[in-house]
Structures are given as C-alpha cells and as structure tokens.
Chain A
C-alpha cells in the first residue's frame, strides 16, 4: 500500500479510536467507532485482504454499530452528568497505556522488519493448477480471486470450525432471547 494512503487510513482509524474514548455522548462515540472501522477496512484492502475489508464494513459498520445505536436509543440515556474525574484511576490508566506503548516500540525496534513484496500470481497459479483449476485460471489472468481462495480454504480446511461457529451463533441468538425476556416477578 502506498505510504500516503497508508497514513491517511491509519490516521482516520486512530483519530476515530481517540474520539470513541474522548467524546462524552455515546451516540457520537458509536459514530466515531464507524469512522475508525472504515479506516481499518481501508488498511485491510490495502493489504490485499479484500474479503476481510468488506466483511469489516458490513459486520461492524453495518450490523454492530446499528445494534449499539439501537441500545443507546432504547435505554434513553441522558447526557452523562459531569462527575469529577478521580485522579488516581486516570493516572493509573494513562500510565498503563503509556507503558504498553513504550514496550511496543521497544519490541518493534528489536524484531526483524519485512518489506512489501508484490504478490507472485504466476507462481500461485501454478500451485493451484492441480487442486482448483478455476482459481488457477483467474490467477493466471492476473486477478487475485480473494473470495474464491477464502471460500476454498474455509470449506476445505476449516469445515468443522465453521460449523462450530454456526452453533455458537445459534446459541448466542437463543441466549439473547432468554436474556431479553422480562422476568416474571
């Protein structure tokens, strides 16, 4: 991903994240979260992860943000009354975050870096020629059939986890219904 684009999306993502934490109004926080996730999906697409980028927008900016807004409206929250922020938790929290960031920079300065290499679609096409000819043809034409590749590996290599996740979603749905039912007094 070209450097100016990278920093544009990264800054959108980071400023969105800061706005989630800093703004007092929960609705404004939810909308900044969407801005943050749009920047993040820009980074995903820049990393050739087209499917993940689109899913990020559909699931987070589409479904999850609507759920958050819905709950905020449902609870009908007044603007948080101003409470005097306690100094000790504030300093403790900022200290932990600062320590984490310093440690991150320390670790990154000691680990090997990797430079951007363009994808080698011809080699990939040759590798897929036996197992999946359709994908191989698209790769030979110079396209990256991201969704085909993900579908291939998801249904061939991760079939059991996929079904377990399906059960998880079912359990979550039932759990939400049970939790949301008004308990009889």
Chain B
C-alpha cells in the first residue's frame, strides 16, 4: 500500500514540473497550463493529508472542501486568464512572453 510520503513526493514532483514549465516555456498559453498543473499538485497534497489524517474512521472532509474551492477558483481563473490572453493577442498579435516587454523598465 502506498504511504503518505509517496503521495507527497509525487505531488511535489508534479509541482516541480509545473514550475519548470512556467519558468522555461515562452508560449503564454502553455505557461497557463503549467499553472494549472501546479494547482492540481497542491490539490493532491490536500487530498492525501485528508485521507491519511482521518477522523472517526472517515477521511477528513475539510481537506476535500478546500480542494473543491480550489478547483472552483481555478476554473474562474482560467476563464478570466484566457480572456486576457485573447485581448492581449488582439492588441499585440503575439503570445510569446519574450515579445511582451512593454512593462520592462
């Protein structure tokens, strides 16, 4: 049976993969997908702790409520973020982060 540490390790690795994508990729849509990966990695940690720190013989459902709200907020975030990307593309005709330098000092 898988222990708590294996779940935490796997979710940490998924977070690291998402982080590497956010840092390395230049396509802003892919950067956004990697942000979603990082959010989901945090969700896996929450669900793992909820299952392994159960009370009364059940998983701790407060952790899963947190996951529920995180997923909802992530959905809202994706909708707004993609709308911003579309507006950005209309204004600049690019979604490459290296070409978006108008706020560079």
User: How far apart are B99's CB and chain A's nearest CB, in angstroms?
Assistant: 10
Interface range on chain A (Cβ under 8 Å from partner):
35 or more
The docked-state distance in angstroms from the alpha carbon of A103 to that of B66 is 25
Which residues of B, 44-96, contact A by the 8 Å Cβ criterion? 44, 47-48, 50-54, 56-59, 61-62, 64-65, 67-69, 71-80, 82-87, 89-90, 95-96
A132 interface contact, C-beta 8 A: no
The docked-state distance in angstroms from the alpha carbon of A31 to that of B75 is 17
Cβ contact within 8 Å between A172 and B33 = no
Cβ contact within 8 Å between A1 and B3 = no
A80 interface contact, C-beta 8 A: yes
The docked-state distance in angstroms from the alpha carbon of A21 to that of B22 is 9
* Closest B residue to A43 using CB positions: B44
Given contacts A21-B21, A60-B36, contact A153 B30 (CB under 8 A): no
Dominant SS among interface residues on chain A: helix
The docked-state distance in angstroms from the alpha carbon of A89 to that of B95 is 19
The docked-state distance in angstroms from the alpha carbon of A102 to that of B85 is 34
B24 interface contact, C-beta 8 A: yes
Cβ contact within 8 Å between A55 and B71 = yes
Q: List 20 A-B contacts (CB under 8 A).
A: A1-B1, A13-B14, A21-B21, A26-B27, A33-B37, A40-B43, A43-B10, A52-B68, A64-B78, A67-B82, A101-B12, A108-B9, A108-B12, A119-B58, A120-B56, A120-B58, A124-B58, A157-B65, A176-B80, A182-B90
Cβ contact within 8 Å between A150 and B9 = no
Cβ contact within 8 Å between A48 and B40 = no
Cβ contact within 8 Å between A17 and B2 = no
Cβ contact within 8 Å between B30 and A49 = no
* Closest A residue to B77 using CB positions: A172
List 10 A-B pairs, minimum CB-CB distance, nearest first.
Answer: A120-B57, A93-B23, A172-B76, A116-B1, A21-B21, A17-B17, A123-B57, A179-B83, A6-B2, A114-B4
